Structure 1
Amino acid sequence: MPSIFDGLYIGVSGLNVSQNALNITGNNIANANTPGYTRESPNIVEKYPQITQIGAFGLGAQINSITSARNQLLDNTLNQQLNLQSYYQTLNDQLTQVQNLFNEQNNTGLNTALNNFFNSWQSLSSNPDLATARQQVIQSGLTLSQTIQSTYNSLQQLQNNLYSQMTSYVNQINTLAKNIANINYEIKLATLAPNQTANTLIDQRNQLIQQLQKIANVNVFNTYAPSQQNQTLSTSQEDLTILIGGLPLVSGTTYNKLITKTTNGQNNNVFFQDAIGNLTDITNQISQGSLGAVIQLASKKLPDYMNSLNTLSNSIINQVNILHSGGSGLSAYTQTQSTYELNSASNSITESEEAGVNLPLKSGTLSVNVYDSNNNLVNTVSIPITSNDSFDNISKNFNNILGQYGISMSLSGINQGYVQIISNNGYTFSFAGDTSNFLAAVGINTFFTGTNASNISVNPVIVNDQSKIAAGKSMLPGDNSNALAIANLQTQNVMISNTQTINQYYNAFLGKIGSDVQANQNLLSAQNALVTQTQNLVSSQEGVSLDEEAANLIKYQMAYQASARFISVIEQVTQSLINMVQ
């Protein structure tokens, strides 16, 4: 039979349970605004009863464990949503920077520079001999080339910043992996004893995993091994594994590292490094999170934009130079030299043209005006050129025809790679047309130098001598044929297999950037709504409700008071029993 003193034991157990439950409730209230905190609740169970002949008598209550309101499925869903949100947010931030580089609102953008450039040629065609009109052509050309170069360099700098950001993100991943592995070890130690939990450590680990998910798409697995003693599943045997690119970044209490490495001398790739130092390229497997967005931008988006700008610049260089190189300025040449260097005189111009202008020879004719010392036109001669001609053959034909005037073509320069045309007998020369593209391909009498958006510039010969602007096909006063032809390039289909004008191509390019920005902003807006919805759901199930905790305070307080009242009654009964004995 239970004794009267068992009643005291039952009352004390009630006090202990109520006091500990109040502490748990107070801890919930204190952490109501702590990020990542999961609401805890006591698991109150009846103590094992005392068995007698007449039945089982209860011996009070105890807190068997402290359980967390954690919902792993919801946590995983939230982490995936945050991963996508971080991806779209990073894309949005960077794409907005790209869009700002092409700002046309203040009439200072590339579109304005293009229009001003062709308008200046239109003005020159009205006054081909006017010095101010020629200077305006030079200035608009410089502005155009500087605007293109500045835009391209800004894109390149943005790309370099993204590569640096890749390294920063990889370092963050390594730090998080190390910290998660360390917490895994602490969790194992904290849960060695039966019914022991590590809720605080698990909350901290979940916060680290959430940070990791924001950076890159990883797969998280919680596995449980059966206890060797009773072959049951226990949290003490929990092993957490995190995979990135299908490879184990964290495996229980061990972790591996990621590194960035430059490949092909151009870009940074992300490599997984195992315990013995073997490297596996996982760049293409990282497709989400901030790091996935940076990789997407640095290796795909920005190169596409830069290639489009190069295509535009290359076309401007080629088309203007083809017309300009076949024209004449106000003064003739005594000598001139190409701006592009040939690799070898024995190769064809297309193969040996080092600059990469991608301007092949055509079968056509190079026409040269020859003037005497009084600038009187002596002759206009034509040199036939075929599409597969080598420089040796072209220069031989040139010298055979123009040698009588002491005008010759040869290779010069340190590496004997620059084409030079020089007059030795007092004659001078200009150009009256070139349907073979030879002059533009090697860079003689051209308006632009360079090959793409990174190095486009106005030919220094023209900058230093505006009379060399080839406004016509001859040096006759008022000849505006070439200036008019260059001005008309703006309305001609010279882009995309001759299907678009230069302005149409550029506007389509701007439209592509704007479309990318708008599409990503729409996705980001939708993703933000999903994240908010999921966070609210997680908060409702795992977060602290102050109203609910206030009700628990009253419940446990009343239970504590009742247990104290019960002990008081037992004390009175005990005192009565003692008095009876006396």
Structure 2
Amino acid sequence: MSSDLQIGLSGILTAQRSMLVTSHNISNANTKGYTKQSSVLAARNPTITTAGTLGQGVELVKIIRHKDDYLNSRLRDISSSIGSASIKSQYLKELETVFNETSDSSLNNALSSFFKGINDLSQYPEDMSIRSTFLENANTLTDTFRRIVSELDQMKTFIKQSIENKLSDVNTITSNIANINKQIASLKTKGIESNDLLDKREALLHDLSKLTHITVNTQNNGMVDVMTPGGALVSGTNVKSLTFDIDTSGTLSITDSEKMSKFTFKTGEIKALQDFYNTTIANYDKKLDTLASGIIKDVNRIHGEGVGLSGGFTSIKSINSVSSATAALNTAGLTITPSTGDIYITVTNTSTGAVTKNKISVNVATNSLTDVKNAINGTVSGTAGNITASIADNKLQIGAATGYKFNFSYALDPNPGTLGTSTASVSGVYSGQSNDTYTFKALGSGTIGTTSGLQVEVKNSSGTVVATLDVGSTYTAGNTLNVANGVSLSLSSGSITTGDTLSLNVISDSDTTNLLAALGVNTFFSGTDASNIAVSTDVSNDVSLIAA
């Protein structure tokens, strides 16, 4: 073929091939990840003659991709951030639905109704309809706690499944990248451009970046290494498959398939899901448990020291058991750890109305539940108390003899004893901030209500005089005298001698140990946290047992 025809043919063929590149661009205009390609043309090698070089036309030298590695890297970073943000937005909306604070069934409304019920009950303790409403409000509160915990657990289940699915996507993508790496390297050794394969790989890298933040390093052979802060996902044709693991503390970690090493992700959908599982939901669980356990502890502590409409119990058994009846109470496995202090038990003779208040001192570092049982039996048994303590299934039981009942209230002892030959009677409600002992001491000798100037001095346990009572000629035996902090005293006819004393325990907290709440004695709530809080079975069955 003549040179002039060859030159013309080269132009036609080159133009045809360039048109194919253009057609390829047009047909892939909407193809995900496709990068525009261009033809690179160059003059063919000339023919050398004595007159000089003669041109031989044109040829297609190369087809290039219009790419920007920096821009692609930034797009991958942005994709990771958007992936994180979209997951956070999705699950924050779901959290809002779980707590549903704008509805009547919110936790806030349940708490408000519960505490309003306490206020109503304190004003009308004998109104059975108010008691029933209060019980209903309490059940609503406990149901709300448990519902929220259950829905948070469901969220964690969904998140765990989503992480599993997305890790499967990661493994599929990285495997495909490794396969493309192999093809690209093979073509490169032959000097062949692999534009479409490069586009496919870039699209896979973009998809992967949405799931987790990655760094891409290109090797001389055209392969790429895909890195995360936790290590390489792809290194040439080698792939690290990922899975997840949940440890005993409930923390979810991303690991390799052999679970030999953990992967820490910076951003991306998987990182957002992992943070929501490990941190966000865990924090809400913790806050709910703190709130619920605080309500359980405080309400039970107050309720345990209160009395229902019957005024006491003929028998009672703790809800919670100790790990061992002989173990020290602070190591006996109780959810609420008790403290060293005193418990006051009031025993009432239902026939005569006579009341006896007894103090049980407890050292939680040395005393066991068996010691408490023995102390109750030794302190308040027999004619003075007529109650008996026992242990069954590592739970404390207390029973009263026929004709007696008991409670753990902080009510004053109405019959503390005698001062000289005069019988003392106490009334009122102690309003002091801490438990104390008032000691009444005769400052002179004489007859109550007769001897002029006869006085009784009252000191607290620190030796401070809180009152000086005139019980001489200006006093009428049996009349009430105001002492201090809501406590009143009356003395019957009789005589006193200088130095005669009478002690009275004034109580603001009848269980400074919190042992009653820890054991679940006369408690309003059962359970330990937001997942199992409930109104106790006894109270649910009989609203008259609500202490108010």
Change (3 A) 1:53 1:158: same
Aligned partners of 1:129, 1:203: CA distance in 2, in Å? 80
Normalized against structure 1, the TM-score is what? Answer: 0.73
Aligned partners of 1:11, 1:245: CA distance in 2, in Å? 57
Residues 315, 400 of structure 2: 8 Å contact kept: yes
Matches within 5 A, 1:282-431: 282=263, 285-331=264-310, 332-354=312-334, 356=335, 358-372=336-350, 374=351, 376-388=353-365, 389-404=367-382, 405-413=385-393, 417-431=394-408
- In the alignment, does 2:527 pair up with 1:450? yes
2:156 aligns with: 159
- In the alignment, does 2:102 pair up with 1:105? yes
Aligned partners of 2:328, 2:135: CA distance in 1, in Å? 32
1:432 aligns with: 409
Q: Which has the higher helix share?
A: 1
Aligned partners of 1:398, 1:326: CA distance in 2, in Å? 16
| 1:359 to partner: Cα distance | 4.3
| 1:430 to partner: Cα distance | 2.3
Match of 2:232 among 235, 244, 248: 248
| 1:407 to partner: Cα distance | 1.6
Residues 373, 396 of structure 2: 8 Å contact kept: no
Count of paired positions: 444
Q: Which has the higher strand share?
A: 2
Aligned partners of 2:75, 2:275: CA distance in 1, in Å? 23
| 1:465 to partner: Cα distance | 0.8
Aligned partners of 2:259, 2:292: CA distance in 1, in Å? 43
Specify the code of the residue in structure 1 equivalent to 2:160.
Answer: Y
SS of 1:340's partner is coil
Residues 387, 401 of structure 2: 8 Å contact kept: yes
Aligned partners of 1:159, 1:411: CA distance in 2, in Å? 41
Residues 259, 272 of structure 1: 8 Å contact kept: yes
1:57 aligns with: 54
Match of 2:540 among 449, 463, 471: 463
| 1:296 to partner: Cα distance | 0.9
| 1:65 to partner: Cα distance | 1.0
Specify the code of the residue in structure 2 equivalent to 1:179.
Answer: N
Please, which moves more after superposition, 326-335 or 418-427?
Answer: 418-427
Residues 287, 296 of structure 1: 8 Å contact kept: no
Aligned partners of 1:62, 1:325: CA distance in 2, in Å? 97
Normalized against structure 2, the TM-score is what? Answer: 0.78
Match of 2:135 among 127, 133, 138: 138
Matches within 5 A, 1:112-261: 112-194=109-191, 196-224=192-220, 237-261=221-245
Aligned partners of 2:349, 2:112: CA distance in 1, in Å? 36
1:90 aligns with: 87
Specify the code of the residue in structure 1 equivalent to 2:511.
Answer: T
Q: Any unmatched runs of 5+ in structure 1?
A: 225-236, 472-582
| 1:250 to partner: Cα distance | 1.1
Change (3 A) 1:122 1:345: same
Residues 362, 435 of structure 1: 8 Å contact kept: no
Q: Any unmatched runs of 5+ in structure 2?
A: 411-509
| 1:426 to partner: Cα distance | 4.5
Residues 182, 223 of structure 2: 8 Å contact kept: no
Aligned partners of 1:207, 1:362: CA distance in 2, in Å? 68
CA-to-partner distance for each residue in 1:531-555, whole Å, 9 max, x for gaps? xxxxxxxxxxxxxxxxxxxxxxxxx
2:499 aligns with: none
Match of 1:272 among 252, 256, 269: 256
SS of 2:381's partner is helix
Specify the code of the residue in structure 1 equivalent to 2:113.
Answer: N
Residues 84, 269 of structure 2: 8 Å contact kept: yes
| 1:328 to partner: Cα distance | 0.5
CA-to-partner distance for each residue in 1:107-153, whole Å, 9 max, x for gaps? 22011111100111111122111110111111111101110111122
Residues 353, 441 of structure 1: 8 Å contact kept: no
Residues 229, 266 of structure 2: 8 Å contact kept: no
Aligned partners of 1:460, 1:375: CA distance in 2, in Å? 32
1:566 aligns with: none
Please, which moves more after superposition, 443-452 or 338-347?
Answer: 338-347
| 1:267 to partner: Cα distance | 3.6
| 1:247 to partner: Cα distance | 2.3
Aligned partners of 1:302, 1:85: CA distance in 2, in Å? 21
Identity of aligned residues (%): 28
